[in-house]
Amino acid sequence: MSYFMTDLSGTSVAEPDEATMRTILDGLADADDEHPDVSLTHENGWSLSAFPSGELLWLLWENLDEPDAPPRQLSGVSKDEVLRLFGLLAKGDTAEIERLAGS
């Protein structure tokens, strides 16, 4: 399965390891109105975008291949939890993210 991350500047990184994911996520410290998020997108169309929100993050969960499917948000998420969810999505394991986004 293939996946990629997009950093704050819009640069795509193909199949980053966990350390690279953390570095990209740490880049949110420099987020601004023009470049507010980083994301991980899987070849199955699912994308998880992270936005800064004080000490925690909020996430946007959406399927880019299904425009009729409404995007969902998760708020108050720790950086470690975001990394865990990015890791699940990188493997194509969307069930846990779906569960969290549905609650």
Q: In which residue ranges of the chain is pLDDT below 70?
A: 1, 103
Distance CA 13, CA 5 (A): 5
Supply the pLDDT for residue 16: 98
Where are the domains positioned within the chain?
Answer: 3-102
Q: What is the pTM of this model?
A: 0.93
For 64, half-sphere exposure in the C-beta direction (CA atoms, 13 angstrom radius) is: 12
Supply the pLDDT for residue 89: 97
pLDDT digits (tens, 9 = 90+) for 25-40: 999 999 999 999 999 9
